[in-house]
Amino acid sequence: MKDSPVAVVFDLFALNHYVSGPVAGLAVAELISEVGAEGRLAAVSALALTQALASHSPDRDKSFGFAQLQWFLTENSDLAVFSMTPGQVEPTSRVMQTGWVEVGFAHTILLAVTHNAQFATADPVAARSILGLDWPILDVSERPFS
């Protein structure tokens, strides 16, 4: 097996925490920065990113958070945006049934399992319920040493 370049996947909770502002989102920013410094990738599901963008309306073009999310799409090559492939459709539906979760979260879980990646979230309960207690879950709701 070849090691995946993906070190961490970020779920919608982590994205929302990141874009809530430079203070609250600092843990996420430091994690993205560290992953980039190690030459690895931080990944996000295109579906979760779509949901995060959709939550910014109606004056979303003026919002700090919306600008941050757009930046993920354009400038930041260290954050990989994964679209859902045809082969992931059926497996993602299984994750949805297993955890009674919505499609963006299920696709994020699928990415973590596929890439053996750590799971970054600001709400670990939902991820733990599917991935289990032993999966490396990074709680980005606070900085790891604070």
Contacting residues toward other proteins, per CB under 8 A: 1-2, 4, 6-8, 21-22, 25-27, 29-39, 68, 71, 75-78, 88, 90-91, 94-95, 98, 110, 113-116, 118, 130-132, 134-136, 138, 143-145
Closest distance to other proteins from the beta carbon of 128 (Å): 11
Judge contact between 8 and 138, C-beta under 8 A: yes
Closest distance to other proteins from the beta carbon of 41 (Å): 11
Q: Which helix (H) or strand (E) segment is 137 a member of? A: strand 137-139
Q: In this structure, how many other beta carbons lie within 10 angstroms of the beta carbon of residue 141?
A: 14
Structure-block tokens of residue 122: 């600001």
Residue 26 corresponds to which amino acid? L
Nearer to other proteins, 12 or 112 (CB): 112
Nearer to other proteins, 57 or 98 (CB): 98
Nearer to other proteins, 55 or 76 (CB): 76
What lies within 8 Å, CB to CB, of 67 at 6+ separation is none
Residue 90 corresponds to which amino acid? E
